């Protein structure tokens, strides 16, 4: 994915501008910065869900925000998105949540859709959860179920919006381990938004820092490198907790 001269807005106000970076195949790129800097808004632009105020987002050379809707929709189906609140259908079981995109966007029969959905649930540690409703799950289990649903169509690029929010440190760490497990075994590229410094150092190959005052990205690179040699505001941000 290539981001070129991107400006993103919320409520009619530009909150980040002139963003220039690539997402490398197979990496975990984590978007960080203080609250309100535009992390989740940027993620929605990368997913093609919001139009930029300026600039381009290209995936395999194709612009996510211009051209006919049908090819752009086909591009978006190559992404998996885990929203901050999970966005599971409350009236559907976990199995039905996972089978829905397969029914809508593939020609798989019901038996194969169920087999694949059970596999994805097992992959995130919910092998016994196929018939459970979201309301029957703990917070950590709902996060994992949402992650499994984002994997339903075997995405090339996985986007995670605050996957550890609302979780205790132990469950947040387990979710970090799961992200690395998926990247290792499935080869999935991951873009993740988080405010948890420990998660950044646990999972990120590179971190991208959004500055709310300057309204632009002021650093991108390995977290340890940014902690030691980044701009002052970036070093202060990463130095809030130990890197270990």
pLDDT at 244 exceeding the cut of 50? no
The model's confidence at residue 242, banded by pLDDT at 50, 70 and 90, is very low
How large is the average pLDDT for residues 183-211? 93
Do 193 and 31 contact (CB within 8 A), yes or no? yes
pLDDT above 70 as % of the chain: 98
List, in sequence order, the alpha helices (H) in 124-168. Answer: 139-150
In a domain, 218, yes or no: yes
Examine the fold and report which residue of 127, 153, 179 is the final residue of a domain before the chain moves on.
153
Q: Does one domain contain both 133 and 117?
A: yes
What is the rounded distance in angstroms from the CA atom of residue 125 to the CA atom of residue 118? 11
User: What pLDDT sits at residue 185?
Assistant: 84
Tell me, what DSSP letter sits at residue 50?
Answer: S
> Is the predicted pLDDT of residue 215 greater than 70, yes or no?
yes
pLDDT in tens, 52-79: 999 999 999 999 998 889 989 999 999 9
In-domain check, residue 31: yes
> What's the confidence (pLDDT) of residue 240?
66
Same domain, 72 and 145: no
Query: Do 159 and 74 fall into the same domain?
Result: yes
Count of domains observed in the chain: 2
- The CATH number covering residue 223 comes to 3.40.50.300
Q: Based on the domain organization, do 119 and 219 belong to the same domain?
A: no
Residue 2 falls inside a structural domain? no
Helix axes 139-150, 110-123, angle to 10 degrees: 130
Query: Which residues have CB under 8 Å from 1's CB, separation 6+?
Result: 22, 23, 46, 57, 58, 59, 157
Whether residue 11 is contained in a domain is answered as no
Q: In this structure, are 72 and 169 located in the same domain? A: yes
Q: Is the pLDDT of residue 170 over 80?
A: yes
HSE, CB side, 13 Å, CA atoms: give it for residue 244.
Answer: 0
* pLDDT tops 80 at residue 146: yes
Q: Taking 50 as the threshold, does the pLDDT of residue 32 lie above it?
A: yes
Give the predicted TM-score (pTM) of the model. 0.90
- Per-residue confidence at 151, pLDDT binned at 50, 70, 90? very high
Full residue range of the structural domain in which residue 139 is found:
88-153
- Looking at the predicted structure, is the pLDDT value of residue 23 above 50? yes
């Amino acid at each position: 994915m290539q981001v070129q001269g991107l400006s993103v807005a919320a409520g009619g106000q530009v909150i980040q501008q002139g963003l220039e970076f690539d997402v490398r195949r197979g990496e975990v790129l984590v978007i960080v910065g203080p609250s309100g800097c535009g992390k989740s808004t940027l993620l929605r632009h990368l997913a093609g869900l919001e139009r930029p105020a300026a600039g381009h987002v290209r995936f395999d050379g194709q612009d996510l925000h211009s051209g006919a809707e049908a090819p752009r929709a086909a591009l978006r189906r190559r992404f998996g998105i885990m929203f901050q609140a999970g966005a599971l259908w409350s009236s559907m079981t976990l199995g039905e949540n996972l089978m829905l995109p397969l029914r809508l966007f593939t020609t798989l029969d019901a038996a194969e859709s169920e087999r694949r959905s059970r596999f994805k649930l097992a992959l995130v540690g919910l092998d016994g959860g196929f018939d459970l409703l979201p309301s029957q799950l703990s917070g950590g289990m709902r996060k994992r179920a949402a992650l499994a649903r984002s994997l339903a169509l075997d995405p090339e690029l996985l986007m995670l919006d605050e996957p550890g929010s609302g979780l205790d440190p132990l469950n947040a760490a387990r979710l970090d381990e799961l992200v690395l497990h998926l990247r290792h075994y499935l080869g999935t590229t991951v873009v993740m938004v988080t405010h948890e410094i420990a998660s950044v150092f646990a999972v990120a190959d590179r971190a991208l820092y959004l500055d709310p005052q300057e309204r632009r990205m002021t650093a991108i690179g390995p977290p340890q490198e940014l902690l030691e040699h980044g701009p002052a505001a970036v070093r202060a941000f990463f130095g809030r907790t130990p890197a270990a």
